[in-house]
Amino acid sequence: MGCPCPSAGKDLVTSSNPAARAHRTFTPPELIRNFCIIAHIDHGKSTLADRMLQLTGVVDGRAMRAQYLDRMDIERERGITIKSQNVRLPWAVTQPDGSVKEHVLHLIDTPGHVDFTYEVSRSLAACEGAVLLVDAAQGIEAQTLANLYLALENNLTVIPVLNKIDLPSAQPERYAEEIAHIIGGNPEDVLRVSGKTGAGVKELLDKVVAEIPAPVGDPDGPARAMIFDSVYDIYRGVITYIRVIDGKITPRERIQMMSTRATHELLEVGVISPDPVPTVGLGVGEVGYLITGVKDVRQSKVGDTVTSALRGATESLGGYRDPRPMVYSGLFPLDGSDYPLLRDALDKLRLNDAALTYEPESSTALGFGYRCGYLGLLHLEITRDRLEREFGLDLISTAPTVVYTVTMEDRSVHSVTNPSDWPEGKISDVHEPVVKCTIITPTDYIGPVMELCQSRRGVMGGMDYLSETRVELRYTMPLAEIIFDFFDSLKSRTRGYASLDYDESGTQASDLVKVDILLQGEPVDAFSAIVHRDFAYSYGLSMTAKLRELIPRQQFEVPIQAAVGSRVIARETIRAMRKDVLAKCYGGDITRKRKLLEKQKEGKKRMKMVGRVEVPQEAFIAALSTDAAPAGKAK
Per DSSP, the chain holds a count of helices (H) and strands (E) of 15, 29
Mean pLDDT of 503-524: 82
Q: Is 245 annotated as a binding residue?
A: no
Q: Is 42 annotated as a binding residue?
A: yes
Where residue 588 falls among pLDDT bands split at 50, 70, 90? low
Q: What is the structure's pLDDT at 12?
A: 33
Reported as type and span, the H/E element at residue 368 is: strand 367-374
Reported as type and span, the H/E element at residue 571 is: strand 567-574
| Lowest-pLDDT choice from 134-138, 140-144, 206-210, 299-303 | 299-303
The CA distance from 406 to 429, in Å, is: 6
Of the candidates 229, 151, 146, 134, the one whose C-alpha atom is nearest the C-alpha of residue 187 is 134
Same domain, 87 and 120: yes
Does 472 reside within a domain? yes
Q: Give the domain CATH number at 152.
A: 3.40.50.300
Please say whether the beta carbons of 42 and 141 come within 8 A. Answer: no
Backbone conformation region of residue 44, classed left if phi is above 0, alpha if psi is from -120 to 50, else beta = left
The CA distance from 279 to 269, in Å, is: 6
The CA distance from 13 to 10, in Å, is: 9
Please say whether the beta carbons of 95 and 3 come within 8 A. Answer: no
Average pLDDT of the chain to the nearest whole number: 76
Residue type at position 347: D
- Beta strand segments in 394-549, E: 395-397, 404-408, 413-416, 427-442, 459-465, 470-478, 499-510, 512-519, 522-523, 529-532
Q: What is the structure's pLDDT at 11?
A: 34
Does 581 reside within a domain? yes
Q: Give the domain CATH number at 592.
A: 3.30.70.2570
The CA distance from 550 to 543, in Å, is: 10
The CA distance from 196 to 173, in Å, is: 20
Please say whether the beta carbons of 327 and 206 come within 8 A. Answer: no
Mean pLDDT of 628-635: 37
Please say which residue of 478, 510, 542 terminates a domain.
510
Same domain, 23 and 114: yes
Same domain, 475 and 500: yes
The CA distance from 606 to 555, in Å, is: 11
Does 314 reside within a domain? no
Q: Provide the CA 125 distance to its chain's centre, in angstroms.
A: 19
Quote the longest CA-to-CA distance of the chain: 119
Q: Is 514 annotated as a binding residue?
A: no
Same domain, 444 and 557: no
Q: Give the domain CATH number at 410.
A: 3.30.70.240
pLDDT (tens digit per residue) in 177-208: 888 888 777 888 888 888 778 788 888 888 88
Same domain, 439 and 552: no
Angle at 449 between CA 447 and CA 452, to 5 degrees: 110
Residues, the chain: 635
Q: Give the domain CATH number at 391.
A: 3.30.70.870
Does 309 reside within a domain? no
pLDDT (tens digit per residue) in 153-163: 888 888 888 88
Q: Is 73 annotated as a binding residue?
A: no
Query: Alpha carbon of 604 to those of 491, 549, 554, 595, 613: distances in Å?
Result: 51, 21, 10, 14, 14
Q: Is 165 annotated as a binding residue?
A: yes
Where residue 254 falls among pLDDT bands split at 50, 70, 90? confident
Please say whether the beta carbons of 424 and 356 come within 8 A. Answer: no
The CA distance from 138 to 126, in Å, is: 29
pLDDT at 409 over 80: yes
| Lowest-pLDDT choice from 280-284, 412-416, 536-540, 607-611 | 607-611
Of the candidates 363, 328, 258, the one whose C-alpha atom is nearest the C-alpha of residue 300 is 258
Q: Is 605 annotated as a binding residue?
A: no
Pairing mode, if any, of strands 100-109 and 85-94? antiparallel
The CA distance from 49 to 112, in Å, is: 14
Q: What is the structure's pLDDT at 76?
A: 46
Mean pLDDT of 234-255: 84
Same domain, 61 and 118: yes
Please say whether the beta carbons of 377 and 325 come within 8 A. Answer: no
Q: Is 34 annotated as a binding residue?
A: no
Please say whether the beta carbons of 144 and 43 come within 8 A. Answer: yes
Q: Is 163 annotated as a binding residue?
A: yes
| Lowest-pLDDT choice from 423-427, 483-487, 537-541 | 483-487
Q: Is 635 annotated as a binding residue?
A: no
Does 388 reside within a domain? yes
Does 628 reside within a domain? no
Reported as type and span, the H/E element at residue 157 is: strand 157-163
pLDDT (tens digit per residue) in 307-356: 888 877 777 776 556 667 777 888 888 777 888 888 888 887 876 676 78
Better pLDDT: 264 or 585 = 264
Better pLDDT: 322 or 68 = 322
Same domain, 503 and 521: no
Please say which residue of 398, 423, 454 terminates a domain.
398
Mean pLDDT of 63-68: 53
Same domain, 439 and 332: no
Please say which residue of 196, 211, 226 terminates a domain.
211
* DSSP H stretches of helix in 197-290: 201-211
Same domain, 118 and 164: yes
Please say whether the beta carbons of 446 and 497 come within 8 A. Answer: no
Q: Is 164 annotated as a binding residue?
A: yes
Q: What is the structure's pLDDT at 422?
A: 83
Does 448 reside within a domain? yes
Reported as type and span, the H/E element at residue 226 is: strand 224-233
The CA distance from 575 to 577, in Å, is: 7
Please tell me the total count of domains within the chain: 4
- Beta strand segments in 7-51, E: 32-39
DSSP structure string for 175-193: HHHHHHHHH-S-GGGSEE-
pLDDT at 462 over 80: yes
Same domain, 373 and 434: no
Mean pLDDT of 504-510: 83
Bridge partners, 32 (sequence order):
104
Does 227 reside within a domain? no
Same domain, 113 and 23: yes
Please say whether the beta carbons of 557 and 575 come within 8 A. Answer: yes
The CA distance from 79 to 72, in Å, is: 11
The whole domain housing 569 covers 513-623
The CA distance from 458 to 437, in Å, is: 9
DSSP structure string for 289-326: EEE-----GGGS-TT-EEEESSS--SS-----PPPPP-
The CA distance from 273 to 101, in Å, is: 20
Same domain, 488 and 554: no
Mean pLDDT of 398-404: 80
pLDDT (tens digit per residue) in 429-439: 888 888 888 88
